[in-house]
Amino acid sequence: MIVGIEVGGTFTDLVMVDESGQLSVHKLPSTPSDPSVAAVDGLREILETAGVTGSAVAELLHGSTIAANALIQRRGARTALITTRGFRDVLFIQRQDKTVVYDMFYQKAEPLITRDAVHEVTERMGAKGDVVTPLEAREAEALVDELVGGQEVESVAVCLLHAYANPSHEQMIGDIIKRKYPNVRVSLSSEVAPEHREYERTSTAVIDAYIGPAVEQYLTKFGDSVRDVGFAGTPLIMQSNGGAVPIETARRLTANMFVSGPAAAVTAASEVARATGISDVISIDVGGTSCDVCLITDGMPQTTVKGTAEFSVDGLPLNVVMTDIVTIGAGGGSIAHIDAGGMLQVGPQSAGADPGPACYDHGGEFFTLTDAMLLLGLLDPDTSLPGGINLQASASEKAAADLCSRLDLDPLALAERVYRIAIVNMAQALRRVSVKRGYDPRQFALLPCGGAGALIAGPLAVEMGMDQILVPPHPGIFSAYGLAVADVRIDYVRADGAVRTDTLTVDGFKERIEDLRGRAVSEFAALGYDADALTLSFAVDVRYVGQGYELRVPIDPDSVMQGGVDVLVEKFHDLHEQQYNHAFRKSRVEAISFRLTAEHPRPALTHEASASGGTDSTGSRDIALPGLTGSYAIYQRDGLPEGFAGSGPAIIVETTTSTPVPPGWRFEVVANGAVKLSRDS
């Protein structure tokens, strides 16, 4: 059996797949104080429901928000930074650019550590990796003794000048710490982010050191707890790049876990897109707290690049390969409120899992998007939610009273406005990953997931001018499904500094490619994976000479071996023209970093739509969508076989969510159990 466990802000989702491909799902409220509690409780419950023990589980995959929470809440370890003499203030000078250009009160993000936690050592590397000033080993050892013994530092980040070109000095300091203080975590920039740009590399090393102990502690507890349940294998942990790694690798590279859960949903979206033949989609994962959006082209998700807001977490640069996910505070728990200007707003504040929306009747006092959808008829008050939650419309109306009084609206009119505002907010996130990246969203299908994704898909697609919606199987637990289909993946980078392409020979290109290939084969073999089964994907970060940032250009090494480096240059010109609508084809070009993504494929899941019930409508429900109010025929999704088609107004109901099909839209069950909605011309 394969089990995927994803911890979200409101619910913890589980998927179990047996050897026949039969898929079981489970959902329970998250436990924010200790996310591992709900994860392990859910594992016990889904095993008990299946009538098996933990020993029956061959693979266990897990995604969690523990890394993001530790940073955003600033609950990390007592951390120190060791850097090259003369570079103490890199972390505080930062960059001159503003993420919000017209904010007159703009403030730079506060670093995770204060200036007195930054310490210098005598050493210096040249940009090509040559030793300019040798490391003073005794000075370094005395500094380490002072940090750990005198200041009781729990974690140390080491970021020395040009360590990406020659990491020997960083490794010497790391060896001193590991030898003398094995319980202190060490984060070397040459391991965490071996690339140029001192500020971004320093920030990444400090982030890894700051959150490392908390993430390590969580992963250790999770690993011990699942062994107590009977699981005897090695848990795989989801990374921000959309792949999974063994738990020990995740403990070493904690900074790679920031968008662990959302990345799992994108991985699943890519899988569904390829299976249905609709390879260009925009996924939108709407949970209880946030909305995560990602652009997927040719079945492959976009990844973050330097120079964009998505390259940072909480305003702090994070220089690791991450799925390019735009996140906004818009989810089922988003609270409706009136801002200082008297305007009705929805989010980013959220009712979360505890106490949750008012309609949960668990003490929530604020009117949320979930309350609005209940009053609009999108949610059935007679259906219980996971955790035994029974929706109470009367509680929603009570929570709406204050806003209704201030805005002179009745509860239904307020619900319509809240729903509409939430859709407009989400549309802005869709534009950020499409229009602002040079893509026309009308040429993509919308793929909604998360508990609330399908509930807003129709009006959101209309807002964006999109004509197709692809609702995947089990959208309400889609991140957990993504864990079950994720490959083992590790990213590698080689940064030699800027290399002019007119001086880069084919042999020089080949040497860099073979170096990356050798590192991947060696590490995967050490982890116990068959190196011959690896899927290798190469890319090069390229820019025009004089540009501040580069584009990541996917490349087939064989094409360069046969056609020369000009093949890479032409692909860069084409990509630049697509993204910025122009290219300088006569300008000089330089390669910055060479990259490799190595993936070990896991067994493919064979999941088909079940047809346990009938295809006839099971009744109707009055739904008050803005401008689309009417009686919607109800269909049970588990009763719809592949090939079944119908038209709106309808609502397709399933265990984890519902999909409204507005008037003027048709729906059809397609491959892999997905439901495709198409707008009539």
User: pLDDT by residue (tens digit) across 186-200?
Assistant: 999 999 999 888 999
Q: What pLDDT sits at residue 19?
A: 79
Least confident of 3-12, 301-310, 398-407, 662-671: 301-310
Dump pLDDT digits (tens) for 260-278: 888 999 999 998 998 899 9
Q: Which of 161, 190, 214 corresponds to the end of one domain?
A: 214
Q: Both 521 and 625 in a single domain?
A: no
- pLDDT tops 70 at residue 224: yes
What angle, 0 to 180 degrees and rounded to 10, lies between the N-to-C axes of helices 453-464 and 411-433? 70
Q: Note whether 202 and 223 are same-domain residues.
A: no
pLDDT bucket at 565, cuts 50 / 70 / 90:
very high
pLDDT at 580 over 90: no
Mean of the pLDDT values across residues 580-601? 93
Is residue 154 helix, strand or coil?
Answer: coil
Q: What one-letter code names the amino acid at 490?
A: I
Taking the CA atoms of residue 100, residue 288, residue 26 and residue 675 in that order, the dihedral angle to the nearest 10 degrees is -80
Same domain, 509 and 567: yes
Domain that holds residue 554: 488-600
Same domain, 24 and 88: no
Choose the final residue of a domain: 205, 233, 257.
257
Residues 101 and 198 in one domain: yes
The stretch 440-459 carries a mean pLDDT of 94
Residue 567, pLDDT > 90, answer yes
Q: From CA 420, how far away is CA 426, in angstroms rounded?
A: 10
| pLDDT in the model for residue 204 | 94
Is 383 contained in some domain? no
Sign of CA dihedral 378, 383, 388, 392: positive
pLDDT of residue 458 exceeding 80 = yes
Looking at residue 540, its pLDDT comes to 95
What percent of the chain has pLDDT above 70? 97
Q: How confident is the model at residue 602 (pLDDT cuts 50, 70, 90)?
A: confident
Does residue 609 carry a pLDDT above 70?
Answer: no
Q: Which DSSP state fits 155?
A: E
Which residues are registered as beta bridge partners of 446?
282, 469
Contact (Cβ atoms closer than 8 angstroms) between residue 261 and residue 7: yes
- Give the tens place of pLDDT for each residue, 369-428: 999 999 999 998 887 776 677 889 999 999 999 999 999 999 999 999 999 999 999 999
Q: Are residues 105 and 51 in the same domain?
A: no
Instruction: Assign 281 a pLDDT band (cuts: 50, 70, 90).
Output: very high
pLDDT digits (tens, 9 = 90+) for 612-639: 555 667 788 888 887 788 899 999 988 8
- Looking at residue 344, what is its pLDDT? 95
Q: Are 264 and 479 in contact (CB under 8 A)?
A: yes
Q: How far apart are CA 145 and CA 122, in angstroms?
A: 16
pLDDT tens digits, residue range 22-46?
Answer: 888 888 888 888 889 999 999 999 9
Rounded distance, CA 276 to CA 72, Å? 37
Largest CA distance in the chain: 80
Whether 625 is covered by a domain: the verdict is yes
Provide mean pLDDT across the span 467-472.
Answer: 95
| pLDDT band at residue 445 under the 50/70/90 scheme | very high
Q: Sort residue 369 into left (φ over 0), alpha (ψ -120 to 50) or beta.
A: alpha
Residue 432 above 60 pLDDT? yes
Contacts of 239 by beta carbon, 8 Å cutoff, 6+ apart? 245, 250, 253, 256, 257, 260, 263, 489
Query: 11 and 101 share a domain?
Result: no
Residue 92 and residue 32 share a domain: no
Evaluate whether residue 42 is within a structural domain. yes
Q: How far apart are CA 216 and CA 554, in angstroms?
A: 33
Predicted pLDDT at 604: 65
Same domain, 187 and 135: yes
Looking at residues 201-220, what average pLDDT do you find?
Answer: 94
What is residue 582's predicted lDDT score, i.e. its pLDDT?
A: 93
45 domain residue, yes or no: yes
Residue 611 pLDDT > 70: no
Domain identity same for 182 and 239: no
Q: Which long-range contacts (CB under 8 A, 24 or more apart) does 461-468 make?
A: 461/677, 461/679, 462/662, 462/679, 463/423, 463/424, 463/427, 464/427, 464/430, 464/431, 465/441, 466/282, 466/441, 466/442, 467/442, 467/678, 467/679, 468/278, 468/676, 468/677, 468/678, 468/679
Partners of residue 633 on adjacent β-strands: 620, 650
Give the C-alpha separation, 665 to 669, whole Å: 14
Mean of the per-residue pLDDT values of the chain: 90
Question: Does residue 579 have a pLDDT over 90?
Answer: no
Question: What DSSP letter does each residue of 258-305 carry, written as one string?
Answer: TTHHHHHHHHHHHHHHHHHT---EEEEEE-SS-EEEEEEETTEE-B--
pLDDT at position 307, please?
56
Is residue 364 included in any domain, yes or no? no
User: Is residue 607 scored above 70 in pLDDT?
Assistant: no
Residue 627 lies in a domain: yes
Collect all residues with Cβ–Cβ distance below 8 Å to 286 and sequence separation of at least 6.
330, 331, 332, 426, 448, 449, 450, 451, 452, 453, 455, 456
Q: How many CA atoms lie within 13 A of 88 on its CB side?
A: 11
Does 346 fall in a domain? no
Specify the DSSP class assigned to residue 486.
Answer: P
Question: So what's the pLDDT on residue 671?
Answer: 80
Dist CA 453 CA 287 (whole Å) = 7
CATH of residue 520: 3.30.1490
Distance CA 27, CA 304 (A): 30
Q: Are residues 668 and 537 in the same domain?
A: no
Closest CA to 87 of 57, 46, 114, 118: 118
The answer to whether residues 81 and 200 belong to one domain is yes
Q: What is the pLDDT of residues 313-354, one digit of tens each?
A: 778 888 888 888 888 888 888 999 999 889 999 988 888 767
Q: 160, 180, 214: which is the final residue of a domain?
A: 214
Kindly report which listed range (47-56, 191-200, 350-359, 474-483) carries the lowest average pLDDT score: 350-359
Q: What percent of the chain has pLDDT over 90?
A: 63
For residue 323, give the DSSP letter: B
pLDDT tens digits, residue range 96-140?
Answer: 877 778 888 888 889 999 999 999 999 999 988 899 999 988 999
The CATH code of the domain that includes 28 is: 3.30.420.40
For the stretch 55-74, pLDDT in tens is 999 999 999 888 887 887 78
Q: Is the pLDDT of residue 606 over 60?
A: no
309 inside domain: no
The pLDDT value given to residue 570: 96
For the chain, the domain total comes to 4
pLDDT surpassing 60 at residue 576: yes
- Contact between residue 340 and residue 133 where contact means Cβ atoms under 8 Å apart: no
